Structure 1
């Protein structure tokens, strides 16, 4: 298996509500097949899929899907952008789990849950600058240069 994630699929209870939430964050929907909603990202896609249908596809009872201990993450270019994304998410209907705050390793993060409880981390990592197109790599992009933390 090649080292990549092509598609992240989130099980949702109300697909129209879930799509409206991500659209309120400023995301643009791609053409989607009937019954799912897809958002193309940098190098992958995020799909919203009815929870019952996903469970059936997996051969599981819907109650067996659970929510799991994971987060989806969106890294930002600046410290101030973390708070801006968190405000936009809250206005779109997210539940703020932990407001934007500085962390011991020198970054700035916040957490929110979308309307179906999927947890998102919004992070500024001064040690992993984003590429000009917004792509993320753990060690950053050498040509992106150091980005000093900004007040926010």
Structure 2
């Protein structure tokens, strides 16, 4: 017997990537002053940003963990000690990875390791945000995206 499937993925575009920080002020400082995102909305326990050059209509949002729990009933406890989310940024050219890496290092961002070419045909570099959210900056080598179906 086939399992019913929602059409959400084919009918409703993703509008926000929402991170759930412990300390909203610390995250606001990091995303505005270190990474350069432009604040669009600020309310108690919540903020969102415009990312110049991002996919039109998609925002990066922050919803403070305790505020989220108090207003929605969601558990305030994060699961596990690993990364719960990866925010990936696709750049047009591999050289941009090294340029942006240098720019972010100068702004005080600490990277897991230097930029490198990976077996999935991409040049990548990784850093973490204030609440252990993992950021991946990547560009396809030779413009070839592997595994496309």
Q: Normalising to structure 2: TM-score of the pair?
A: 0.72
CA distance in structure 2 between the aligned counterparts of 1:64 and 1:106, rounded to whole angstroms? 33
Candidates 21, 32, 42, aligned match of 1:12: 21
CA distance in structure 1 between the aligned counterparts of 2:22 and 2:83, rounded to whole angstroms? 16
SS in 2 for 1:16: helix
Give the 3 Å change call, closer, same or farther, for CA 87–15 of structure 1 in structure 2: farther
Deviation of the 1:65 alpha carbon: 4.8
The two structures, once aligned, show a CA RMSD in angstroms of 2.5
Q: Normalising to structure 1: TM-score of the pair?
A: 0.71
Candidates 78, 84, 88, aligned match of 2:99: 84
Structure with the higher fraction of residues in strand conformation = 2
Q: Look up the match of 1:52.
A: 66
Candidates 28, 34, 37, aligned match of 2:38: 28
Give the 3 Å change call, closer, same or farther, for CA 13–84 of structure 1 in structure 2: farther
Q: Look up the match of 1:149.
A: none
Give the 3 Å change call, closer, same or farther, for CA 13–98 of structure 1 in structure 2: same
Q: Specify every segment of 5 or more residues in structure 1 that has no aligned partner in the other structure, as ranges.
A: 129-137, 140-152
Write out per-residue CA displacement over residues 59-109 of structure 1, whole angstroms, 9 at most, x where no aligned residue: 244224556543110011221211233334444454422321011233200
Q: Specify every segment of 5 or more residues in structure 2 that has no aligned partner in the other structure, as ranges.
A: 1-7
Write out per-residue CA displacement over residues 3-61 of structure 1, whole angstroms, 9 at most, x where no aligned residue: 52111111112212211211221211113333311112422111111111123344244
Q: Look up the match of 1:106.
A: 121
| Larger CA Rg, structure 1 vs 2 | 2
Number of residue pairs the alignment of both structures matches? 130
